[in-house]
Structure 1
Amino acid sequence: MSGYTREPATPMEIGPRVLPPSDQWSPALAVPAPVCRFENFLGAQRAGALLEYAIARQDDFTAGTVLDPLTGQVSRKGRDSLVLPVTSEVFSAHLADCLPLVQELLDHRAALTRSLTVLTAHGEGGHFGIHTDASRVRDASTALSAVYYLHRTPRGFGGGKLRLYDTVVHEGRARPAESYRTIEPEHDTIAFFPSSAFHEVVPSTCPSGRFSDHRFTLTTWISDGESAAGPQDRRSRVARWMADAAEGTRPLHDAERDHDGARPVPLPPSGPATRLRTNRS
C-alpha cells in the first residue's frame, strides 16, 4: 500500500485569466479515412501459391506509372515499383464475398460491379508518394481501393507501410491532413478504403536484392463504372468531403485505358476457380 495519505480532490474553477476568451473561433474538423482490414484473406495454401506465382513472373513485371491529372501524361514521377496487370476469378470471388460487410463498415452506399487489379512489387527504395486513386476509376467518390499483401516468411524487406491520410474540413473546404494512420504489410491480409483517400507507400528496403524478398501486393480498384452525379446522391457526407479534397487529383478527361495496362472485370465472376492469368496473353 502507498505510504501517502489520500486527500479528497477539491473542485476548482478554471477562470478567464487561465483561459482568456477568444474573439476568433473556427475549429477544423479532421476526418479519418475509413478503413477495414481482413486477416487470413485467402488462406495459407492459396496465399502461398499466389506468392510463388508472383515470384515466377518476375520477367513480366514492368515499371509502375502515374497519370498527371492536368496533362494526362503518363510518367513515373513519385513512384518506384514494378507492376503486372492480372485477373483472377478466385481473388474476385473473395472480394465479392466480403464486399457487403466492407460497405457496411465503411458506410459505403454505391453499387460495386467491376474491378481493376495489378500485382505490384516493391524492392530496395520502392515507394509511391502521396496520391489518390482517382486516375483508376470514373468516380473516386464512389469507388473502393483494396491492397492485399504477400511476402516471404521471415520478411526479406523492411518499411513499405501504407499511410492513409485524414481529411481536414475547415470553413467548408476540404484538404488532406498531415495526420495519418499506418497499415502494416502483413502476409495474407487485405485493407479496404475509399479510392478518394490520400495515401502513400513509404520507402522499402530489400537488403538481399532478390526478387523473392520483395514486398508484393494485389492492388485492386472496385467501382460501378458510373458517375455519382444526379439528384440521388448515394455518397455519405464523409465520402463527399473526401471527394472534395481529392478533386485536384482527378483526371480532367477520362483515360481510354488504365495507365498500367489493367482492364476491368465484372464482379462477382462466375465459373470454376482458376489461377491468375495476365492481361497480356
Structure 2
Amino acid sequence: MQSPPQTLLANNFQEAWQRLVSKSVRTLDEILDDTTLSVGDRAEIALQVIALHQQTGRESSLAETEAIAPSCQVKENVNRPNPKTHPLDGYVLLENFLSPEENQQALEIALTNRENFISSSTTNQATDYRRSLVLYATFYCEFYQLLKRRILQVLPEVCDRLDRVPFNVTELEMQLTAHNDGCYYKVHNDSGSPETATRELTYVYYFHCPPKAYSGGELRMYETDSTLGKVVEGDRFTPVEPQNNSIIFFDSRCQHEVRPVRCPSKQFEDSRFTLNGWLRR
C-alpha cells in the first residue's frame, strides 16, 4: 500500500532537513577547529551554537526552574520607579545569591582561565569607551547552566519587583568580565542597536578575591527616558557598590556606566569580577 502524498512529502522533508542539519554541524565543527580564526571569534560561534541548542531544546523555558531556591536577601532602591510612568533607573539586588562553594567556583574559573580572556569591545566599535577583559561562556559551560537556572528561578520575582510583565526568555547571554586598574565602561545601555534590541533585562553577578583589593568600579544607574532611551539629567543617578556574591537586575534600556576601577597591585587576581549578561525575549 502506497503512502498518501502528504506523508511522502513530510518524510522527504524530514530526511532533507536531517541531512541539512548534519552538514551544518560538520561545517561548524570545521570552523571551530580553524586556528586561523581568533579565539574570540571561535568562542562567539560556539556560544551561539549552545544558545541555539538551548532554544530548540526548550531549555530556556521557565519550567526549568526546579532547582532548590538559593538563600538570598532581596534589596531594591527605595525610589524604584514604575517603568510604565517614570524614567528607568530601578533595580533589584539579591545578596548571597550563590552558595559559598559556588561563589568560590566562579572565582576559580576566572583565575584558571586568565590566559583565555580577551579585550572587551562595544557593538558600535567605539574606541576608548570600554576597557576590560572578557571570557566567553564556552570556557565554563557547566557553570553557565548553573547560573542560568538560578537566574530563571528568581526571574518571576524580579519582574514583579520591577513592575514588568513576565516574558518568555528565548536566550540568556553570559560573559565573565574582569576590571583591573584603570578599567571602566562609559555611559551606555544594553539594547540600543538592532543586534541587541530584544534584550529585556540585564544582570550582573559580582565576585572577587577576599579581602577586596580594589576600589571604585561602582555601577551608576542613570534616570533614563523609557521612550527615548536617553538620560533625563546627567547628574541624577543611583550608585550601586559591587558586593561579593550579589546579583543585580535592571531594564536593559537603562543608561548606566561602570566607574573607573583602582587596583594598586595591578594583579589579575585582585580584579573586580562579574558574570554579566542579558535575557532576551
Query: Aligned match of 1:90 in 136, 141, 146?
Result: 146
How far 1:52 sits from its partner (Å)? 1.5
CA spacing shift, 1:136–1:147, aligned 2, 3 Å: farther
Compare the two structures and name the one with the higher helix fraction.
Answer: 2
How far 1:76 sits from its partner (Å)? 4.1
CA spacing shift, 1:121–1:181, aligned 2, 3 Å: same
Which 4+ stretches in 1 moved above 6 angstroms? none
Moved more, 134-143 or 203-212: 134-143
In structure 2, how many angstroms separate the alpha carbons of the residues matched to 1:79 and 1:139?
17
Which residue pairs with 1:196 in the alignment? 253
Correspondences of 1:62-73 after superposition (within 5 Å): 62-68=118-124
CA spacing shift, 1:124–1:142, aligned 2, 3 Å: closer
Which residue pairs with 2:37 in the alignment? none
CA spacing shift, 1:116–1:155, aligned 2, 3 Å: same
How far 1:156 sits from its partner (Å)? 1.1
DSSP 3-state at the match of 1:93: helix
In structure 2, how many angstroms separate the alpha carbons of the residues matched to 1:112 and 1:38?
20
Instruction: State the aligned residue count.
Output: 189
Deviations 1:38-68 (A, max 9, x none): 0011121100111111111100000000122
Query: Aligned match of 1:41 in 77, 84, 97?
Result: 97
Which residue pairs with 1:258 in the alignment? none
Residue ranges of structure 1 left out of the alignment (5+ in a row):
1-28, 69-73, 225-281
**Is contact 2:199-2:278 (8 Å) kept?**
no
Which residue pairs with 1:223 in the alignment? 280
In structure 1, how many angstroms separate the alpha carbons of the residues matched to 2:277 and 2:198?
16
Q: Does 1:166 align with 2:223?
A: yes
**Percent identity among equivalent residues?**
31
In structure 2, how many angstroms separate the alpha carbons of the residues matched to 1:30 and 1:105?
15
Which residue pairs with 1:123 in the alignment? 180
Q: Does 1:80 align with 2:92?
A: no
Deviations 1:219-257 (A, max 9, x none): 110012xxxxxxxxxxxxxxxxxxxxxxxxxxxxxxxxx
Q: Which has the larger radius of gyration?
A: 1
In structure 1, how many angstroms separate the alpha carbons of the residues matched to 2:196 and 2:186?
21
CA spacing shift, 1:192–1:136, aligned 2, 3 Å: farther
In structure 2, how many angstroms separate the alpha carbons of the residues matched to 1:54 and 1:137?
31
Query: Aligned match of 2:191 in 134, 139, 148?
Result: 134
Q: Does 1:185 align with 2:236?
A: no
CA spacing shift, 1:75–1:142, aligned 2, 3 Å: closer
DSSP 3-state at the match of 1:143: strand
Correspondences of 1:17-36 after superposition (within 5 Å): 31-36=87-92
How far 1:112 sits from its partner (Å)? 2.1
How far 1:153 sits from its partner (Å)? 1.4
In structure 2, how many angstroms separate the alpha carbons of the residues matched to 1:96 and 1:131?
25
The one-letter amino acid paired with 2:107 is L
In structure 2, how many angstroms separate the alpha carbons of the residues matched to 1:89 and 1:197?
26
How far 1:30 sits from its partner (Å)? 6.2
CA spacing shift, 1:173–1:139, aligned 2, 3 Å: closer
Q: Does 1:157 align with 2:208?
A: no
The one-letter amino acid paired with 1:185 is P
**Is contact 2:218-2:242 (8 Å) kept?**
yes
TM-score by length of 1: 0.63
In structure 2, how many angstroms separate the alpha carbons of the residues matched to 1:157 and 1:137?
35
Residue ranges of structure 2 left out of the alignment (5+ in a row):
1-84
In structure 2, how many angstroms separate the alpha carbons of the residues matched to 1:144 and 1:58?
28
Moved more, 104-113 or 142-151: 104-113
Compare the two structures and name the one with the higher strand fraction.
Answer: 1
TM-score by length of 2: 0.63
Deviations 1:128-149 (A, max 9, x none): 0000001588564761000000
How far 1:85 sits from its partner (Å)? 1.0
CA spacing shift, 1:60–1:165, aligned 2, 3 Å: same
**Is contact 2:188-2:255 (8 Å) kept?**
yes
CA RMSD of aligned residues (A): 2.1
Which residue pairs with 1:14 in the alignment? none
Moved more, 174-183 or 212-221: 174-183
**Is contact 2:217-2:272 (8 Å) kept?**
yes
Taking CA–CA contacts closer than 8 Å with sequence separation of 6 or more, which of the two structures ends up with the larger relative contact order?
Answer: 1
DSSP 3-state at the match of 1:182: strand
